[in-house]
Amino acid sequence: EADIYQTPRYLVIGTGKKITLECSQTMGHDKMYWYQQDPGMELHLIHYSYGVNSTEKGDLSSESTVSRIRTEHFPLTLESARPSHTSQYLCASSEVYYNSPLHFGNGTRLTVT
């Protein structure tokens, strides 16, 4: 039973389109994260949030944006998709403590043609 949900699971879209990847969690976690991961490679942090109205950019430069209007919802938006955005995007959440484990969604596999 998943407590953190990502939609869509798979998305194929043309260059230049605007897309929003959805992420919701039911655990009441304050911290939420977006990671990007290519096959066989490390997870790279692209955005994170410590709570409502808090958003920060991660280590990996990204052309995406995020918002955190509600605790449970942390959508990621690409204003104009490009083939270089083709990747897997993982959403995660955790409790406030720095040594809390992350809870992950199932991911969105994005292909931009």
Partner 1 sequence: ILNVEQSPQSLHVQEGDSTNFTCSFPSSNFYALHWYRWETAKSPEALFVMTLNGDEKKKGRISATLNTKEGYSYLYIKGSQPEDSATYLCAFSEASNYQLIWGAGTKLIIKP
Is 89 a residue that touches partner 1 (CB under 8 A)? no
Contact residue for partner 1 among 4, 21, 32, 46 (CB under 8 A): 4
Buried b (16+ CB within 10 A) or exposed e, 93-108: bbeeeeeeebbbbebb
- State the nearest-atom distance from the C-beta of 28 to partner 1, in Å: 17
d(CA 89, CA 109): 6
- State the nearest-atom distance from the C-beta of 14 to partner 1, in Å: 26
Window 26-55: residues binding partner 1 (CB under 8 A):
40-45, 48
Q: Which amino acid is at 8?
A: P
